[in-house]
Amino acid sequence: MMRATLVWFRQDLRVEDNAALVAAARRGAPVIPVYIWSPGEQGDWAPGAAARWWLHHSLGQLDASLRRLGSRLIIGRGRALKVLRGLVRRTGADTIAWNRRYQPAAATRDAETRAGLERDGLAVKVFESALLFDPADIRTRQGGPLRVFTPFWRACLAQPAPAEPTSAPGRLASPSTWPESLAVDELGLLPSHDWTEGLAAAWTPGELDARAELNRFLDEGLASYELDRDRPSLMGTSRLSPYLCWGELGPRQVWHAVREWAIDADDERIAHNAEVFLRELGWREFSYHLLHHFPSTVQEPLRPEFACFPWRQDARALRAWQHGRTGYPLVDAGMRELWATGWMHNRVRMVVASFLVKHLLLPWQQGACWFWDTLVDADLANNTMGWQWSAGCGADAAPYFRIFNPVTQSERYDPDGVYLRRWLPELDALPGKAIHRPWETGIRTYPKPVVDHAEARGRALAAFRTMNRSSPGGA
């Protein structure tokens, strides 16, 4: 019998369209699926509280999927190289397979782990399963990385189309004896004080529910995607982000499902909406492209002139923003949705991020850290790009003078206040349009605005001009 293959799962917690798992199954040797909890090796960006809740449940679902294939998930804890070497000794495996990751610390760890295993004489097979296009293949004519989305996406679409997704193996060969495994409860991923009831009500982690959510979007959301995606009161977005983040659904599965749905529908409206949605999937690709080529942007601005931006430090204002007590209904509704469900509508994410960095002049890194701890879809590439875009210091960034007015944004995208009333019950009694400007009603159960919009906008623009004067070559 051939010696076993270890398949090291990370953020690819699925059995369908999993390149490493498929390759291991095709060897015909026993396959030993492995997950290693090693947050100490992931630097300052170990999974946050909401992400750990998701991971706990996703690992249970992955084990169930593997058991349907005659296999199971082996869970270890500690330094990855040490755990893998221990499993090699106990199982006699001669091959280790995994799918590539792009987070800076994870990429460094993978390179070190691969080198150590190959020094031991083991075969290491690395596959691509997280992206549609390899970041190294998308370049400018001069060979450098792209920093603007439109030419980036144009270059992606000039590449060969993403390969068709692969089916799950029919069955996985098992070793004669399974190595010992930790139970998922032993990882201590769930919070000691349970605030996760809202997460459980909003989400069911796992590959089966990922597929169900994709089917719901195709059936109910794709046809009106362009019109509805900016309305936070509607189910107008795909809500696939946490499933993509944890790899319970692969981007190739989404790409081909949307394309095939549009072709089968034979409807110009659906075809148009499909292209609009796939372009949004392209933004995910762009975020990984940026993280791959500019790994320091996790903490530092891509545009160097922002290193001298005069950010404020204001713990009281930060707490008001975090807890949804700024006095601006759309900002507060979004932050309360985030705390309750681990997710926030994308239009609202842009508004709350703009408010933090431009109305309050608080560093974008503080917002990125809060999102990282509270989002079930906390993806380092997306989170970094989104916050740098909002702050005006990243690639393809919104100009700093584009400052979202949270009142006009809610009036435009939640005109009847349906979303606001859902998350701000203390404003439910306000009539009609008054909900967008509660300070004008004399209501006492809701905080007054922490800052005046016009004054905040003027302060932000003044800070931006100061930065321009102090930067090299500034006026």
Distance CA 292, CA 297 (A): 10
CATH 3.90.1300.10, applies to 1-129? no
CATH class of 304-469: mainly alpha
Whole-model pTM? 0.95
Residue at token pair 């492209």: 289
Tell me what pLDDT residue 468 has. Answer: 63
Is the CATH number 1.25.40.80 carried by domain 131-164+206-293? Answer: yes
pLDDT at 473: 39
Neighbours of 380 (CB within 10 A): 23
What would the 3-class secondary structure string for the chain be?
Answer: CCCCEEEEECCCCCCCCCHHHHHHHHHCCCEEEEEEECHHHHHHHCCCHHHHHHHHHHHHHHHHHHHHCCCCCEEEECCHHHHHHHHHHHHCCCEEEEECCCCHHHHHHHHHHHHHHHHCCCEEEEECCCCCCCHHHCCCCCCCCCCCHHHHHHHHHCCCCCCCCCCCCCCCCCCCCCCCCCCHHHHCCCCCCCCCHHHHHHCCCCHHHHHHHHHHHHHHHHHHHHHHCCCCCCCCCCCCHHHHHCCCCCHHHHHHHHHHHHHHHCCHHHHHHHHHHHHHHHHHHHHHHHHHHCHHHHCCCCCHHHHHCCCCCCHHHHHHHHCCCCCCHHHHHHHHHHHHHCCCCHHHHHHHHHHHHHHCCCCHHHHHHHHHHHCCCCCHHHHHHHHHHHHCCCCCCCCCCCCCCHHHHHHHHCCCCHHHHHHCHHHCCCCHHHHHCHHHCCCCCCCCCCCCHHHHHHHHHHHHHHHHHHCCCCC
> How far apart are the C-alpha atoms of 131 and 135, rounded to whole Å?
9
Catalytic sites, residue numbers: 280, 283, 311, 346, 364, 387
In order along its 475 residues, the chain shows pLDDT tens digits of 689 999 999 999 999 999 999 999 999 999 999 999 998 775 558 899 999 999 999 999 999 999 999 999 999 999 999 999 999 999 999 999 999 998 888 889 999 999 999 999 999 999 999 999 999 899 999 999 999 999 999 999 999 999 999 999 999 999 999 999 999 999 999 987 778 999 999 999 999 999 999 999 999 999 999 999 999 999 999 999 999 999 999 999 999 999 999 999 999 999 999 999 999 999 999 999 999 999 999 999 999 989 999 999 999 999 999 999 999 999 999 999 999 999 999 999 999 999 999 999 999 999 999 999 999 999 999 999 999 999 999 987 666 778 999 999 999 999 999 999 999 999 999 999 999 999 999 999 999 999 999 999 999 999 988 876 555 434 3
Residue boundaries of the structural domains of the chain: 1-129, 131-164+206-293, 304-469
- Asked if residue 54 lies in contact with residue 15, where contact means CB atoms within 8 angstroms, the answer is no
Distances (CA, A) of 375 to 44, 238, 339: 16, 16, 8
